Amino acid sequence: MIYDKQNAPKKIRELQRWVNNKFIFRSCERFEDYKKVTA
């Protein structure tokens, strides 16, 4: 859990999103392979 989300580094916020979303988590084996898609 990120307590200070506004001031957390972008990489940490992306890591949290990757871990907490099972669909994203299962889409790639490693966090380094995860590419955030923004709409």
Query: Could you report the average pLDDT of every consecutive run of 10 residues in the chain (39 residues)?
Result: 86 88 88 72
Please state whether the predicted TM-score (pTM) of the whole model is above 0.85.
no
Closest to 33 (Cα-Cα) out of 14, 20, 10 = 14
CA terminus-to-terminus distance, the chain: 24
Predicted pLDDT of residue 38: 52
Q: Exposed, middle or buried by CB within 10 Å (0-12, 13-18, 19+), for 1?
A: exposed
